[in-house]
Amino acid sequence: MTTRPSKWLAFVPAALLPFLTGCGGSQSVLNPQGLQAERLAQLFWLFTGVCGAVWILVLIAMMIAIFRKPRKGYRPVDPLVVDAQGERRTAIVVGSLVTLTALMLIAFTFLSYVATRGLAAPNEALNIEITGYQWWWNVKYDNPNPSQVFDTANEIHVPVDRPVSIDLKAADVIHSFWVPNLTGKQDLIPGQDNIVSFTARHVGRYRGQCAEFCGWQHAHMAFLVIVESAGDFEAWRNGQLRVARAAAGEESKDREILHGKDIFNTRGCALCHTIRGTNAGGRMGPDLTHLASRSTLAAGTLPNTQHDLIAWIADPQAIKPGNKMPKVPLDGSELDALGAYLRMLE
């Protein structure tokens, strides 16, 4: 004789769902690693706790009303008969609940206001300008001294425990800058400059994402925020300020690399990309001066390896359809040469 499983077993998978979700890692609002993210997380948990408590109290009241047994001598109330005492009780209960609800909303509004004011960065913050394109991020490190200004792409390096202020711009459509571990969302709107700030508390690598649908490849518009010690950040910054190795006289005499440089300059690559210190000065695509030092390609779509770099150059539309990089007809040896040249741009 077989027994039917208990109907309560159906609730077991639902009960396990909270333990199976990704509540941590390098892209999670539940794992705050920055001052602003911590304040937002505190506000989130406060709202969740209060609303959860209200929900539980409502459920308890409903269950009591449903399952409570009538008292002895209880007689059903005639809805057509006006009971003054009952009306007073109803008015007291409704008035109390309305007042309590209004006080909660006022408190939530005040706490939200305080939390929002705390998201701004002080005047001594590191200033970065980020421009969103379909579908990549240009990262410009501002400085009062023009010789200290440089551009990179899809990767943001910042020192730990130093406030960062990011000026957000959009070159085409609306995008949204979001690094869940460090701060909240902020939109990039054409013709309007917005600002987002954060102070990273811990060294690490945190993934950011465009959080506003911006076209076909919206999901492939990611970036990395790399939080480093002050010394490591300064070393990275000084390296980024240098011109490309080829321009500094460090270019290899390897014929393949020289051939790759020639392909870059004569096959249209230099019309869209900049390599500082060389004749390449295009602005339509990312700055490639230190391409090999980055972790990913195509805004987080591929890891930055020799194989993936060549695959991206060979047919960018097959990997990220609709992006602005055209397919340039190159044979195998030309692809290897161009890849070798770009891989030396550290």
Whether 290 maps to a domain, the answer reads: yes
pLDDT confidence of residue 70: 73
d(CA 73, CA 171): 76
Same structural domain, 225 and 270: no
For residues 277 and 209, membership in a common domain is answered with no
Alpha-carbon gap, residue 148 to 338, rounded angstroms: 29
Residue 113: inside a domain: no
Please tell me whether residues 198 and 261 are part of one structural domain: no
List, run by run, the mean pLDDT of 10-residue segments along the chain (346 residues): 53 56 68 84 87 90 83 65 69 85 88 75 84 96 91 96 94 95 92 92 94 94 96 94 69 78 91 90 92 94 94 94 92 92 90
Task: Give the per-residue pLDDT at 18.
Answer: 59
282 and 223 within one domain: no
**Residue 225 φ then ψ, to 5°:** -110, 115
| Phi, psi (degrees; rounded to nearest 5) at 147 | -70, -10
Query: Side chain identity at 327, as an amino acid letter?
Result: K
CATH of the domain at 275: 2.60.40.420
* 232 shares its domain with 259: no
Q: Which helix (H) or strand (E) holds 51?
A: helix 35-67
What are the two backbone dihedrals, phi and then psi, of residue 311, each rounded to the nearest 5 degrees? -60, -40
Amino acid at 49: G
Q: Are residues 221 and 130 in the same domain?
A: yes
Which of 215, 241, 267 lies at the terminal end of a domain, its last residue? 241
Cis amide bond preceding 135, omega within 30: yes
Whether residue 223 lies inside any domain: the answer is yes
Give how far the C-alpha of residue 62 lies from the chain's centroid of Cα atoms, to the nearest Å.
41
Q: 236 and 292 share a domain?
A: no
Whether residues 172 and 216 fall in one domain:
yes
Strands 186-188 and 175-178: antiparallel
Last residue of a domain, one of 241, 274, 298: 241
DSSP labels, 224-247: EEEEE-HHHHHHHHHHHHSPPTTT
Is residue 172 in some structural domain? yes
Tell me how many degrees the CA angle 255-261-263 measures, rounded to the nearest 5.
105
- Do both 233 and 328 map to the same domain? no
What pLDDT is recorded for position 65?
A: 81
Please answer whether residues 159 and 202 qualify as being in contact, where contact means their C-beta atoms are separated by less than 8 angstroms: no
Same domain, 227 and 287: no
Task: Verify that 227 and 132 share a domain, yes or no.
Answer: yes
- Quote the domain boundaries for residue 260: 255-343
On whether the CB atoms of residues 181 and 27 are closer than 8 A, the answer is yes
Rounded to the nearest 10 degrees, the angle between the axes of helix 332-343 and helix 255-266 is 100
Q: Confirm whether 219 is domain-assigned.
A: yes
Q: Is 168 part of a structural domain of the chain?
A: yes
Distance CA 294, CA 287 (A): 11
- Token pair of 233, please? 């950040």
DSSP string, 109-139: HHHHHHHHHTTPPPTTSEEEEEEEETTEEEE
Separation between Cα atoms, residue 47 and residue 196, nearest integer Å: 23
What pLDDT score does 251 carry?
57
State the CB neighbour count (10 A cutoff) for residue 46: 14
Please tell me the total count of domains within the chain. Answer: 2
Does residue 58 lie in a domain region? no
Q: List C-alpha distances in Å: 180 to 29, 126, 212.
A: 5, 20, 14
Same domain, 133 and 230: yes
pLDDT at 249: 47
Q: What pLDDT, on the 0 to 100 scale, is given for residue 271? A: 92
Query: What pLDDT sits at residue 27?
Result: 79
In a domain, 313, yes or no: yes
Q: Is 239 exposed, middle or buried (0-12, 13-18, 19+ CB in 10 A)?
A: exposed
For residues 204 and 26, give the distance between their C-alpha atoms in angstroms, rounded to a whole number.
Answer: 9
Go through 251-265 and write b for each residue having 16 or more CB atoms within 10 A of its CB, e for each that does not: eeeeeebbbbbebbb
State which of 213, 241, 269 marks the end of a domain. Answer: 241
